[in-house]
């Protein structure tokens, strides 16, 4: 939660309620953060609320403003625009997906190499887990390629 006050037309935003605060009625050298919210609001410190549906992956925030109807500070949101084409975003997302998979696979690469070099049979838990990673990557790659908008590609979760 963030908080803000309008000081002569300049909105000052706080990431938390400050201990010391110069309010509209008096100055608090300490303990302001311990006061009831109603008293903090009477000194001009109000909540900052993000707009409905805001998603930082696909929206940008405009300049903060006072929303008198809801008695809070907020921001206008706009849809992000990307310089990359849809195809470029898909390629980038798939590359990131494969990098994550490579990292996961690398955790057991040494076992595979050791067993190959020594002619041992690798434990099926390891080979099954590696196969599951590759299958998941293949599925997710298909899902990424099926996306039809840039926002869909950007929001797609590639965690394994």
Boundary of a domain, candidates 55, 79, 103? 79
pLDDT tens digits along 12-30:
999 999 999 999 889 999 9
pLDDT of residue 82: 96
**One-letter-per-residue 3-state SS of 122-159:** CCHHHHHHHHHHHHHHHHHHHHHHHCCCHHHHHHCCCC
pLDDT tens digits along 48-87:
999 999 999 999 999 999 999 999 999 999 999 999 999 9
pLDDT of residue 24: 86
Q: Supply the range of the domain harboring residue 8.
A: 2-79
57: helix, strand or coil: coil
Boundary of a domain, candidates 64, 79, 94? 79
Percentage of residues in the chain with pLDDT exceeding 70?
100
Mean pLDDT of all residues belonging to the chain: 96
Phi-psi region of 74 (alpha: psi -120 to 50; beta: other; left: phi over 0): beta
Alpha-carbon distance 93 to 128, whole Å?
25
Per-residue pLDDT band for 116 (boundaries 50, 70, 90) equals: very high
Alpha-carbon distance 144 to 50, whole Å?
29
Boundary of a domain, candidates 14, 49, 79? 79
**Is 148 contained in some domain?**
yes
Tokens of 32: 């302001």
Whole-structure pTM over 0.85, yes or no?
no
Report how far apart, in Å, the C-alpha atoms of 108 and of each of 8, 76, 118, 126, 155 are: 61, 47, 16, 7, 29
């Amino acid at each position: 939660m963030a908080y803000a006050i309008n000081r002569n037309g300049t909105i000052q935003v706080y990431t938390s309620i400050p201990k010391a605060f110069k309010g509209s009625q008096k100055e608090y050298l300490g303990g302001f953060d311990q006061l009831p919210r109603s008293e903090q609001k009477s000194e001009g410190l109000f909540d900052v609320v993000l707009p409905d549906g805001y998603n930082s992956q696909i929206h940008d925030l405009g300049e903060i403003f006072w929303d008198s109807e809801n008695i809070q500070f907020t921001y206008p949101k706009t849809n992000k625009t990307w310089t990359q084409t849809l195809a470029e975003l898909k390629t980038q997302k798939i590359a990131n997906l494969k990098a994550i998979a490579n990292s996961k696979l690398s955790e057991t690469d040494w076992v595979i190499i050791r067993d190959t070099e020594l002619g041992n049979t690798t434990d099926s838990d390891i080979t099954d887990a590696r196969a599951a990673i590759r299958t998941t990557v293949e599925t997710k790659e298909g899902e990424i390629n099926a996306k039809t908008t840039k926002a869909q590609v950007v929001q797609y979760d590639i965690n394994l």
